[in-house]
């Protein structure tokens, strides 16, 4: 799937549907959820700064790949939570977590050569679950489906607010 757009659309859909059930989950939190969907892709910074460069700077073993796991995403969410006012931290943390979770779940569905996903729950476990292999990362179809779902969620939210 074309990564960034599809992940943003999936997070939007889930967050917008959550907003229909939870009163405080308003548009700003939907936006925070969409931002949270980009957290696991922060590992792409490795194209600018390699793991080896970070290891030499920090003096400890380092891998950007950890950002695409439960532990790495949790740390990034906590950084995001610290950056907002104390009264907003719990809600922003929830929204960022929902977005990051949608990203990791959708990536866990990718078709891979090994038939295995990635260690999603690291550091809790290094188990690499099998993937159902629903789509290739290069297919445009999932983005189209995500866009349609986002449109339906937008319409549902619009109708709910009109009542």
Helix (H, G, I), strand (E, B) or coil at 116: strand
Give the separation between CA 123 and CA 109, rounded to whole angstroms: 20
Give the per-residue pLDDT at 2.
Answer: 54
In sequence order, which residues have a C-beta less than 8 Å from that of residue 148 and are 6 or more positions away? none
Burial (0-12, 13-18, 19+ Cβ within 10 Å), 44: middle
Token duo for residue 91:
């809600």
Successive 10-residue mean pLDDT values, the chain, 163 residues: 85 98 96 97 92 94 91 96 97 98 94 92 91 90 95 96 84
pTM: 0.92
pLDDT at 158: 95
Query: Residue 138: what pLDDT?
Result: 86
* Torsion over CA: 51, 55, 61, 62 (sign): negative
Domain boundaries, the chain: 3-162
């Amino acid at each position: 799937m074309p990564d960034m757009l599809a992940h943003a659309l999936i997070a939007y859909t889930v967050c917008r549907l959550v907003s229909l059930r939870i009163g405080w989950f308003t548009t700003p939190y939907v936006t925070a959820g969409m931002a949270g969907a980009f957290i696991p892709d922060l590992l792409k910074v490795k194209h600018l700064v390699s793991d080896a460069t970070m290891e030499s700077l920090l003096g400890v073993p380092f891998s950007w790949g950890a950002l695409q796991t439960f532990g790495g995403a949790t740390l990034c969410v906590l950084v995001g939570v610290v950056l907002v006012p104390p009264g907003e931290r719990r809600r922003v943390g929830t929204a960022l977590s929902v977005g990051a979770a949608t990203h990791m779940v959708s990536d866990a569905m990718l078709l891979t050569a090994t038939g295995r996903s990635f260690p999603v729950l690291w550091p809790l476990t290094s188990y690499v679950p099998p993937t159902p292999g629903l789509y290739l990362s290069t297919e445009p179809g999932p983005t189209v489906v995500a866009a349609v779902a986002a449109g339906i969620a937008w319409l549902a939210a619009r109708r709910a607010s009109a009542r």
